[in-house]
Homo-oligomer: A and B are copies of this chain.
Amino acid sequence: MIQSLHVIINGQLIPEKEASLGIDDLSIVRGYGIFDYFKTVANRPVFLEDNLDRFFHSAKLMDLPVHYTRDELRIQIRTLMEANKIPESGIKLLLTGGYSKDGYSIATPNLIITQQPLQRNIRQEQQGIKLITYNYHRPFGTVKSIDYAVGILGLKKAKAAGADEVLYAQNGLLSECPRANIFLITKTGKLLTPGKDVLAGITRKYIIEIAKEHLDVEIRDVTLEDMKNAAEAFISSTTKNITPILSIDDTVYGSNPGPLTIQLQHMLEPIVFGSKEKLITEI
């Protein structure tokens, strides 16, 4: 066990157990905030620059000013990593709506940076998961908002149906899982993933990059028909990497991960966990 984790709040390194926000923060009273999340592998942040890009993108779209430069954020992250000493971890940057005087207007945001040990769920990546569709589309789809009410209640519904997670679908189109992007592989070997108004997943980005060298990749509206006709399917995220999908609702892709999914897993592995230095930022 980690004995005493630290966090950074508005630039100050403090013990996690002392870390709090006043109750008028807009995250507490109005669920208003954005975040981003990346992992460290062997004490090095993975895809940090991509995550910072997205963090600033989310903040801008939600009208939240970031009162730190990119360099200052990198330094805060390094400070936190040096204090916590957790080689394999997840680091979250959370930007809230701040202490709002009228309980509704955006104020000066509070920035919280936290780090937690992160254990890979190898079993799930090898064995796959089951999804059920859930009628929803996230507002501000490209924003990594803190708003997970539908996802949290959806997960309960998925578990009750014997599945592992929900997949948002609305008006016949798939969009994403609450915490992961969705990919389909057609019977002719094309890779499909929704491109409109969904989170620009960082793992998704690198999957598309590597897949393009071997497969036709189509970033476009993905329909329930595409889902029913697909040969394979998987989700991607920072914590789940490529996790195969065994079934979505009544559409069963097989009791084992598909062959192209497994190939993509093998190709992604060194990029995320290994040797391709250019993608791992030294800070």
Contact = CB atoms under 8 A, between A and B. Distances in A.
A23 B23 contact: no
Nearest first, the 8 closest Cβ-Cβ pairs linking A and B are A31-B31, A20-B20, A30-B148, A31-B147, A31-B146, A19-B23, A27-B28, A139-B150
Copies of this protein chain in the complex: 2
Interface of A: 7, 9, 16-17, 19-23, 25-33, 35, 62-63, 94, 96-97, 103-106, 112, 114, 116, 136, 139-140, 145-153, 155-156
29 contacts: A7-B23, A9-B23, A19-B22, A20-B20, A21-B21, A21-B23, A25-B28, A26-B152, A29-B94, A29-B146, A30-B146, A30-B148, A30-B149, A30-B151, A31-B145, A31-B146, A31-B147, A31-B148, A63-B156, A97-B152, A103-B116, A104-B152, A104-B155, A105-B152, A106-B152, A136-B139, A140-B150, A145-B149, A147-B147
A16 B151 CA distance: 32
A148 B103 CA distance: 11
Contacts of A152: 26, 30, 32, 97, 104-106
Contacts of A29: 35, 94, 146
A156 to B, nearest CB: 7
Contact of A139 (B21, B28, B116, B149): B149
Chain A binding surface SS class: mixed
A106 B28 CA distance: 15
Contacts of A31: 27, 31-33, 145-149
Nearest to A100: B152
Contacts of A35: 29
B62 A149 contact: yes
Contact of A28 (B116, B145, B146): B146
Nearest to A9: B23
A28 B28 contact: yes
Nearest to A178: B104
A21 B28 contact: yes
A65 B31 CA distance: 19
Contacts of A28: 21, 25, 27-28, 33, 94, 96, 112, 146
Nearest to A156: B63
A26 B104 CA distance: 19
Nearest to A37: B103
